[in-house]
């Protein structure tokens, strides 16, 4: 099973859609964050999810939170995906699935892809909410509510 509420997010480094090295401790443990894992760029569900995060990105920023999307796709794929859909948040290329293993993600489709799952992380670096649903657009509302309630230890979403 994946990381659970109350667990600390492990440190990781991956390249973003611009080819820059992202170090997790520049965000995780510094401010609230939403880290969402998705199966594949440009698929209908993943595009809907990314565009929903894009459309609510300012709401997350207003709450002091950063949004980070992670999949096994390449930097080039992420770059095209971000440009095509005007995604201004961070997309990380986990081509070797190292971070997916750190987050203990279950696999789908014979282990080829990661499951769609969203982690809401407080400013101390602890997981405060996990949303595991195939319904792509459900992740955004749940994550926003969890961020709003993250000062509360009992999150009802």
Which are the catalytic amino acids?
46
Tokens of 19: 């080819």
Q: What sign results for the dihedral spanned by CA atoms 93, 28, 151, 1?
A: positive
Tell me the C-alpha distance between 85 and 83, whole Å: 6
| 116 secondary structure, DSSP code | -
CA 24 to chain centre: 12
Token pair of 38, please?
A: 């998705």
Quick one: 74 exposed, middle or buried, by C-beta within 10 A (0-12, 13-18, 19+)? middle
Q: Locate 5 and state its tokens.
A: 């509420």
From residue 28, alpha-carbon distances to 4, 56, 120, 126, 138 in Å are: 16, 20, 10, 9, 23
């Amino acid at each position: 099973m994946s990381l659970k509420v109350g667990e600390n997010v492990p440190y990781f480094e991956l390249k973003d859609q611009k080819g820059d090295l992202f170090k997790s401790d520049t965000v995780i443990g510094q401010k609230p964050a939403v880290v969402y894992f998705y199966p594949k760029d440009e698929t209908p569900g993943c595009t809907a999810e990314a565009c929903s995060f894009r459309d609510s990105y300012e709401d997350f920023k207003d709450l002091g939170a950063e949004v980070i999307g992670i999949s096994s796709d390449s930097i080039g794929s992420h770059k095209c995906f971000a440009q095509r859909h005007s995604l201004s948040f961070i997309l990380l290329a986990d081509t070797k699935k190292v971070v997916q293993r750190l987050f203990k993600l279950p696999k789908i489709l014979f282990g080829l892809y990661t499951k769609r799952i969203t982690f809401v992380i407080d400013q101390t670096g602890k997981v405060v909410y996990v949303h595991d649903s195939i319904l792509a657009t459900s992740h955004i509302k749940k994550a926003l509510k969890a961020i709003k309630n993250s000062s509360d230890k009992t999150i009802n979403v």
